[in-house]
Each structure stands twice: as C-alpha cells, then as structure tokens.
Structure 1
Amino acid sequence: MSEQNFQAMRRAMVESQLRTNDVNDPAIIEAILAEPREAYVPAERRAAAYTDRAVPLGNGRALNPALATARLLVEVAPRAGQRVLLIGAATGYAAALLARLGCVVVAIEEDPVLAEQAARQLGDRPGITLHAGPLAAGWPEGAPYDLLFVDGAVEELADALIQQLKVDGRAAFATAERGVTRLCAGARSAGGFGARAFADSEAVILPGFARPKAFTF
C-alpha cells in the first residue's frame, strides 16, 4: 500500500471517526494528519491502522484506538512547553503526537520489545525521552509534570502517578470496570485529586493497574 493510500486513510479517519466525535481542535487534528499511524504497528497490520479498533502489537498489548487517544488529547488540552508524563508509550504513537503539539514528553513503557520498537521509531525526535520501566511507577525523577497522559485503561490510577503531577496539573486516562472502558479527565489540587468520566469508548487495558481485591469475611 502506498503512502498516498495511507494519507487518504488518515484523512478519512479524521473525518469519519474523529470530527464526528468532538475531536475538532485544529492543532490536534493537524498533528494526527501529520503523523503516520501505520508506522507504529506491525507491517502485517498496517492496513488496520486507521480502523476504529485497537491494533494488536503482540504480547497481549495493542495500540489504543485513535478515537480514544484523540479524545483524551482534546480533554487534557496540551500546550507547547508543558511537561507530560506519558504512561503506556507502546510503540510511540502518542508520544509523537504530544511532541508535535510542542510538549516535552517523558514516555514510559514496561514491555521491553515495545520500548525498543518505540526507541527505533522515534529515533532522536526532539522533546521525547523514553524510559523502560513499570507503568504504574511513572518517572519520579522528572516530576512534577504539568500533565499526566495515560494512553489506555486502568482499573485504578496509581497514586504514585498522581503524586508526580503538579498541583493544578491535569490528567487524562481511561478506566476499566466489568468490561466497560470509559474516558476520564482529572486534576490535582491542593486538596487531592478528582476525576470525571466523559465518554464510554473502547480503550486498551494496560498492565499493572489492577484494583486490589477486597477481603470478604
């Protein structure tokens, strides 16, 4: 499939999947149109890069659906110069979008194969630092961050990540409960952290965020 084919598929995805679901921010649309999503999935799955579903990457992981990533970006409203802690970098697609928006990105990926693929794909792109390590641990050495961007769904957002946000810092993530995933936005204040769900949407489940099981007597 040619680059022209992929460009046409990218434009169609924006028009049919994103704009029809409240993704209209000009800077975010520009970043998505400029970034070749097909480059972040296995060669044999490139034709599926612009469908409305997650794209399997191997080892139980997948690239988040474009709509989920885009709506989380709209909700968190990243601005140029902001420092972003990205959790679930996978092969680097969300990191690339955030960098195109002018953010300084600290990206975390715990799967060593995906981390290697992300490093190879992103190369020495300015504004992105990639670290391999547990997703739920984040990267406290770089804290505090203006934004927390979790490109996937968690049963429970780790407190360790919230603590790495600045006071007044914002977060975007998805939650997973009983098979339903919801997109959420939150913010840290001097009094704690609050979040709200704003849409039901398919999102990939990230490892390491299982809610502790309650004991029953």
Structure 2
Amino acid sequence: MVESQLRTNKITDETVLEAMGEVPRELFVPRALKSVAYLDEDLQIAPGRYLMEPMVLGRLLQLAEIKATDLALVIGCGNGYSAAVMARLAASVVAVESDAALAQKAQELLAELDATNVSLVRGPLNAGHPGQAPYDVILFDGSIEEIPDVIARQLGVGGRLVTVLQADGPGRAVLATRTEAGLAHRVVFDCSVPRLPGFAKAPSFVF
C-alpha cells in the first residue's frame, strides 16, 4: 500500500508513510473484506459508513502537517482507523463518533493497538468536541457539504483543518487554516469519498 499507492500519489511525508504502514488496516474491515483491506478503495464498515481510501487519507494527513506536539480532532472516526494512524503523528487525538457500535469497536481496536493517546468521544458528529478545543488539526473522516461554524471555531489560530467538500458535483480536498482574521480555504486536489452523516447544507429559500 505504501509503495504502490501512497508514494506514487504525491505522498512524500515520511512520518505519514510510516504511520500508515504501521497500522494494520485489515483489523478495521469486516472479515469478508480482509483480503482487499489494502486496495485503494473506500471499504464499507457499517451501513452508510466507510474507511476512506488510503491515498485520499494519506494526502489529507500530509496537508495537515501534523506535528508531534499537536492536539488533533477526528470527526466521524468510525471504527478508529484514521484515529489510530493520527495517534502515531500527534501528541493526542480526540476521536468523535456518533454510532454506538462503531464507537465500541473503535475503543476495542485502539486498545488492542495500545493507542493510549486517543480519547474516544460518543456524540453528534456535527458538534465536534468543544470541550478540548482549540485543536491544532481537525480531520473529517469522510466528505461533507460544508464546514459547520461550530467546528471551525474549535480550530486554534495557526491550526489546519482538512476535509473533502462534496455536494452535487465532484469532491474537492480542502485545506483550511485559522488566522486571526478567520478561516482561509484552499482547494488542493479533486477526489470523491463517501459522505459523513449530518453535514448536509441547510436548505436556502428561493423567492
């Protein structure tokens, strides 16, 4: 996976490559999918929930420029794969999951991997976790239609937020950075990944 999918797709950060190489992806997929755990595909782990394809996750993590001193937030961690990878990059990780079964599985797998610097929080994804804000890095583990203000405000000054914004058209991987003036967005590459629940745009009125 590292050599054939990540290095060949503009992922050059050795810390990201090492972290993704260390976490056994096959632990995080259903038994029937273990033989294809390392394919560069989104893999379903529960109804409507997926592991993001490795190339997209790797590029998002590279964009985030995670430091060993950072506090990171993962929105929609599923059964914990992205949090397990980030645990090898950041000082501590807060992982938010709304689905009870996925949260339980994440707790078990993270404990199995001795990812003691990950705190799992059960709650609505679109609220984030303001209790430990501000964060240096925020990752959405799936595509969303827009970044909620309540989560954007949890990013500290100088912090980096990475996500895939996807509504009706193609998805776009975005890096947002927090400055004193607000949140600055930059589209970095095109991609398409399954959506996280709860992040649809509010309907607008048309007169």
CA distance in 1, matches of 2:35, 2:79: 17
Name stretches of at least 5 consecutive residues in structure 1 with no aligned partner.
1-12
Say if 1:138 and 1:73 are closer, same or farther in 2 by CA, change over 3 A: same
CA deviation profile, 1:120-164 (whole Å, cap 9, x unmatched): 111152210001111110111101111111121100111111111
CA deviation profile, 1:186-208 (whole Å, cap 9, x unmatched): 11111111111111113221011
Residue 48 of structure 2: aligned partner: 60
Residue 209 of structure 1: aligned partner: 199
1:179 Cα shift?
4.2
DSSP 3-state at the match of 2:87: helix
CA contact (8 A) 2:71 2:90 kept: no
Letter in 2 for 1:149: L
CA distance in 2, matches of 1:175, 1:49: 25
CA distance in 2, matches of 1:104, 1:204: 26
1:182 Cα shift?
1.5
Name stretches of at least 5 consecutive residues in structure 2 with no aligned partner.
none
Residue 39 of structure 2: aligned partner: 51
Aligned pairs for 1:131-146 within 5 A: 131-146=121-136
Residue 99 of structure 1: aligned partner: 87
CA contact (8 A) 2:164 2:172 kept: yes
Aligned pairs for 1:186-201 within 5 A: 186-201=176-191
Residue 137 of structure 2: aligned partner: 147
Size of the alignment, in residue pairs?
205
TM-score of the two chains, using structure 1 as the length reference: 0.91
TM-score of the two chains, using structure 2 as the length reference: 0.95
Residue 116 of structure 2: aligned partner: 126
Runs of 4+ deviating beyond 6 Å: none
CA contact (8 A) 1:78 1:103 kept: no
Identity of aligned residues (%): 40
Question: 1:90 aligned to 78, 84, 96, which one?
Answer: 78
CA deviation profile, 1:33-84 (whole Å, cap 9, x unmatched): 1110110111111112111110001221111111111000000110102000
CA distance in 2, matches of 1:147, 1:57: 25
CA contact (8 A) 1:64 1:203 kept: yes
CA deviation profile, 1:160-179 (whole Å, cap 9, x unmatched): 11111111211111111214
Q: Could you say what the CA RMSD is over the residues aligned between the two structures, in angstroms?
A: 1.1
